[in-house]
Structure 1
């Protein structure tokens, strides 16, 4: 048998890490901090020793899982509305997603097909479009949902030092772009949403963004557990009146 090359070994290592982190996200959503390495191994279909080779404890695994998800989420938040432009240009319901090679989900690149909700969303406000896109992204990639869920909880399940670093990065890389989108969306809609009263606008857009994410996380929880988040994304956005 021909020995594997360094490149092949690295590819296998990255595939294993993706597999383990994806499994860990699934287990953590169900068991929270009670997660154990053996649970992750069972979910991933790998031997305990294989997972332990990469992660000797669940703290390091969760920390890496969240930073990896944060990096991918940041890329998405750089242009969460590019799906709207695609939908308008080709008449299809293509929603922007992170490349499948990064998420561990099958796909053909920058875009994957979604349901009819996306086509409807293309006619709605930028904030509504982004909300539907984000919810449907969570439906496919539970690590991204877990990131936003734990961020809303100030990463309280992590050691203080790790939680502080993640909170600061999340605020800078996720909350700030969302706050800008919310403010831009409000401006694009004119004064209708505030009744012409500038005092009706949120005094702190970052705080408003944090509250909105908390609402999305809470509403998504039940649909996610029922396996219906993709289909119910538009209903959630309508409920929140985005």
Structure 2
């Protein structure tokens, strides 16, 4: 057997890191700061030494997990709910900004998923832009627990991280997540005939505060549904309950 190439080793490394971070997000949802590297190894189905090779402490792991999630968090207010594209063979193709559509095993399963997502898309079209964005965000949290964890810890000022790490992450979160949402909130106000304040919505303290409150409400309401594995299907009910 020929030795692996440098490219193959890098691919394995990136795949292992993604596996560890996903497991860490799942464990953190249940254990919070009590998370240990050993817990992550068990969740990931890896040896303790393997995980420890990549992360010798949970602080580094959590920091990388959150920054990695932030890279996927931008743009969701403008991302529409989409039905998965289905190939001739019946496989669902990955699509959308986050590429989270899972491949279907059979044509019947793909068709069923297509119909289900089509109904969700139609339902979302009946909502306002903020409500539709809220539904999409909740569905993303259901698919990617690290994204939920990012928003949850952001509401706590990333207190689980040392101050030297929390400050730059908070600034990036404000820029990549809160500012776009503030713009969307201001846009909806304008559509509703409410006069704009004259400030740049992305930097308006009032709109940024509204964005923070909206996300905090979604985080709180999503917690139970997420733990029960029902968040994707209950996303619209949560948004309607919050009257977004």
Is TM > 0.5 for Structure 1 vs Structure 2?
yes
Following TM superposition, by how much is the alpha carbon of 1:55 offset from its aligned partner in structure 2, in angstroms?
0.5
Structure 2, unaligned runs of 5 or more: 84-93, 105-112, 198-203
Is 1:163 equivalent to 2:160 in the alignment? no
Query: In 2, Cα distance between the equivalents of 1:203 and 1:11?
Result: 43
Structure 1, unaligned runs of 5 or more: 88-93
Aligned 8 A contact 1:121 1:129 in 2: yes
Aligned length: 218
Q: TM-score, normalised by structure 1?
A: 0.83
**Aligned match of 2:66:** 66
Following TM superposition, by how much is the alpha carbon of 1:186 offset from its aligned partner in structure 2, in angstroms?
1.9
CA RMSD of aligned residues (A): 2.4
**Aligned match of 1:10:** 10
Which of 203, 215, 218 lines up with 1:216 in the alignment?
218
Aligned 8 A contact 1:135 1:233 in 2: yes
Which of 226, 231, 242 lines up with 2:228 in the alignment?
226
Aligned 8 A contact 1:95 1:133 in 2: no
* Correspondence list, 1:147-226, <5 A: 147-191=150-194, 204-226=206-228
Please state whether the residue corresponding to 1:158 is helix, strand or coil.
coil
| Residues 35-78 of structure 1, C-alpha deviations (whole Å, 9 max, x = no match) | 0001000000011111011101100000000000001102x33x
Aligned 8 A contact 2:79 2:97 in 1: no
* Correspondence list, 1:74-153, <5 A: 74=74, 76-77=75-76, 80-83=77-80, 96-100=96-100, 106-107=102-103, 115=117, 116-153=119-156
Aligned 8 A contact 1:69 1:147 in 2: yes
